[in-house]
Amino acid sequence: MNRHISLTAAVLAALAIAPAAAIALDAKSAVDAAKTAGVVGEQSDGFLGFVKPSADTALKAAVQEINEGRAALYRQAAAKNGVTVEAAGASAYSTVVQLRLKPGEFYKPANGAWIRK
């Protein structure tokens, strides 16, 4: 129980600084617009994914940039808490990302089907 609370706290702290420190604002803006349009969604592993295929290379780069930033944060949280990177990502999804989803945005639970909130 304490390990879960500690992991959650580490992930929350990491994600709180991510928009300001690790993610370029233009990438975040592009992804936010794509989330609103239903092109990009949040996955249960804590990473962004494409709900619909996109040929937009700038959007693909923005998603990759954000996912790379998240991966670094999950590695840090995992090392600090003695868990796998996958566990840190899943914890971030269930404790932070899922709660921040806005109506109309898509998410993909572990069963694999995209769902609109």
Query: In the structure, what pLDDT confidence band is assigned to residue 4 with cuts at 50, 70 and 90?
Result: low
pLDDT of residue 20: 44
Opening angle at CA 48, ends 46 and 54, nearest 5: 165
Q: Is the per-residue pLDDT at 16 higher than 70?
A: no
CB-CB contact of 114 with 107 (8 Å) = yes
- Domain spans of the chain? 2-116
> Distance (Å, rounded) from C-alpha 19 to C-alpha 41?
17
* pLDDT tens column, 57-104: 999 999 999 999 999 999 999 999 999 999 999 999 999 988 999 999
